[in-house]
Structures are given as structure tokens and as C-alpha cells.
């Protein structure tokens, strides 16, 4: 995972940790992975 996305993920991860629904965190992580792969393919 690229460093920029990782730094964006940290604060949002902290926000999701305050929520009882961990599914949102998992979905966001998968979203970041897909975006990272697409970004790597284009650049």
C-alpha cells in the first residue's frame, strides 16, 4: 500500500474504531487496496 494512502487510512481507522460496526472499517480497507492497485497500474 502506498504511504500516502496509509497516512490517510490511520485517522479514519481511528474514527471507525470508535464505532461498534467493524464491517465499515473492513470495507474501507478493501476500498483503499483497490484504489492503490488502480493507482499502481496507471502510474
Mind listing the pLDDT tens digit for each residue in 3-42?
A: 676 677 777 766 666 656 677 778 888 888 888 888 877 6
* 13-34: b (≥16 Cβ within 10 Å) or e: eeebeeeeeeeebeeeeeebee
- Where in the chain are the domains? 3-42
Amino acid at each position: 500500500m502506498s504511504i500516502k494512502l496509509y497516512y490517510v487510512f490511520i485517522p479514519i481507522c481511528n474514527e471507525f474504531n470508535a464505532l461498534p460496526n467493524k464491517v465499515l472499517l473492513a470495507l474501507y480497507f478493501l476500498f483503499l487496496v483497490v484504489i492503490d492497485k488502480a493507482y499502481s497500474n496507471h502510474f
